[in-house]
């Protein structure tokens, strides 16, 4: 279960109930503006970026659903979330895709002088990510990086990670773990970390580090990114997409999205 929160979920932004998950009815400028407000006011929140996979995992796991619903923002990471939102009446919704959100927030961070800590990825990925981000944002302030092992951390190891991040004093903690691991990590650490904002952006680490190709924009816009990823990684992803996607479509017609 998620840890107790420092602040309640943001209330100024409406949400669309997509099969029990409250997806924030936002576009990219709205997301960046809200995150910027948290940094300025030192409000503690975490950001989930969620598509069909996250919603279907949440249907199977009420604790994960609660984590999404207690986030500061749960962004519409995939086009099906945008379509669901517009169906519910949120015509202004646009996709807030994790890799694009990272670039948008890093651009603001460079201007405002905010510092970032990068937690996640395989060994060397976070360092490569920082190198490439600084190619885009030369004045981006980086407080540190850490690549955790692919196993649960002991209590002592976890405490050292908290001390490492808090000692670096970042404004933003970028979390690059897989769903639902990154969502659980953020919910468990949002109170213990001093940084006001935690952002779980998953594959954005590998995409911007140059180790994972990105689907063409036309496939992203038409909701076919899942097909691109499936063709590239069929062994790893076939079960996720060929099981989750049809079930999502059937469920969404039985339980229509609602704008809260």
The verdict on 183 and 57 lying in the same domain is yes
pLDDT of res. 91: 96
Half-sphere exposure of residue 211, counting CA atoms within 13 Å on the CB side? 14
Q: Tell me if 151 is assigned to some domain.
A: yes
For residue 260, is it within any domain? Answer: no
Angle between helices 98-112 and 28-41 (to 10 degrees): 50
pTM for the model stands at 0.91
108 and 231 inside one domain: no
Is residue 81 included in any domain, yes or no?
yes
User: What's the whole-number mean pLDDT along residues 8-34?
Assistant: 91
The pLDDT-based confidence of 10 (bands split at 50, 70, 90) is low
Q: What is the pLDDT of residue 97?
A: 96
Neighbour-count burial of 183, counting CB atoms closer than 10 A to its CB (0-12 exposed, 13-18 middle, 19+ buried): buried
Q: Please check whether residues 72 and 144 belong to one and the same domain.
A: yes
- Spatial contact of 18 and 253, defined as CB atoms under 8 Å apart: no
Owner of token pair 């249907």: 59
Domain carrying residue 28: 15-202
The DSSP code for 3 is P
Q: Of 115 and 212, which is predicted with more confidence?
A: 115
Say if residue 245 is in the same domain as residue 173: no
Instruction: Give tens-digit pLDDT for 76-88.
Output: 999 999 999 999 9
Residue 137 pLDDT greater than 80, yes or no:
yes
Q: Which tokens sit at 92?
A: 């202004």
> In angstroms, what CA-CA distances link 165 with 61, 81, 104, 160?
29, 32, 23, 9
> Is 227 contained in some domain?
yes
Model pLDDT for residues 33-44, shown as the tens digit of each residue: 999 999 999 999
Mean pLDDT of 97-108: 97
Q: Is residue 77 part of a domain?
A: yes
Q: What is the CATH number of the domain that holds 87?
A: 3.40.50
Judgement on whether residues 67 and 93 belong to the same structural domain of the protein = yes
- Report the range of poorest mean pLDDT among 49-53, 68-72, 219-223: 219-223
**How far is 138 from 242, CA to CA, in rounded Å?**
42
Backbone angles phi, psi at 258, to 5 degrees: -130, 140
One domain for residues 150 and 183? yes
Question: Same domain for 224 and 187?
Answer: no
d(CA 215, CA 229): 7
What is the per-residue pLDDT for 237?
73
Residues 71 and 154 in one domain: yes
pLDDT recorded at residue 213:
79
Position 2 scores a pLDDT of 47
Q: What is the pLDDT of residue 1?
A: 43
Same domain, yes or no: 123 and 152:
yes
Cα 143 to Cα 116: distance, rounded to the nearest angstrom: 5
Q: What percent of the chain has pLDDT over 70?
A: 95
Question: Do 156 and 244 belong together in one domain?
Answer: no
Q: What's the average model confidence in pLDDT over 6-11?
A: 58
The answer as to whether 186 is a domain residue is: yes
- Residue 119 pairs with which residues in a beta bridge? 146, 175
Q: Which two tokens stand for residue 190?
A: 């949002």
| Helix (H/G/I), strand (E/B), else coil: 244 | helix
């Amino acid at each position: 279960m998620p840890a107790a929160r420092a602040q309640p979920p943001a209330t100024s932004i409406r949400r669309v109930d997509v099969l029990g998950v409250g997806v924030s009815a936002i576009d990219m400028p709205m997301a960046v503006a809200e995150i910027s407000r948290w940094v300025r006011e030192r409000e503690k929140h975490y950001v989930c970026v969620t598509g069909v996979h996250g919603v279907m995992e949440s249907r199977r796991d009420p604790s994960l659903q609660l984590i999404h619903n207690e986030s500061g923002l749960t962004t519409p990471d995939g086009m099906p979330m945008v379509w669901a939102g517009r169906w519910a009446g949120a015509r202004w919704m646009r996709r807030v895709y994790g890799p694009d959100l990272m670039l948008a927030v890093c651009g603001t961070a460079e201007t405002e002088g905010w510092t970032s800590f990068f937690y996640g990825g395989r060994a060397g990925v976070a360092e490569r990510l920082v190198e490439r981000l600084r190619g885009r944002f030369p004045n981006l302030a980086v407080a540190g990086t850490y690549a955790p092992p692919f196993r649960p951390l002991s209590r002592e190891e976890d405490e050292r990670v908290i001390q490492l991040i808090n000692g670096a004093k970042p404004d933003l903690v970028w979390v690059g773990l897989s769903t639902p691991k990154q969502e659980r990590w953020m919910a468990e650490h949002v109170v213990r970390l001093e940084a006001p904002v935690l952002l779980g952006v998953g594959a954005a680490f590998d995409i911007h580090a140059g180790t994972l190709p990105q689907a063409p924009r036309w496939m992203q816009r038409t909701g076919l990114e899942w097909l691109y990823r499936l063709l590239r990684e069929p062994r790893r992803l076939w079960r996720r997409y060929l099981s989750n996607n049809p079930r999502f479509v059937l469920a969404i017609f039985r339980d229509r999205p609602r704008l809260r």
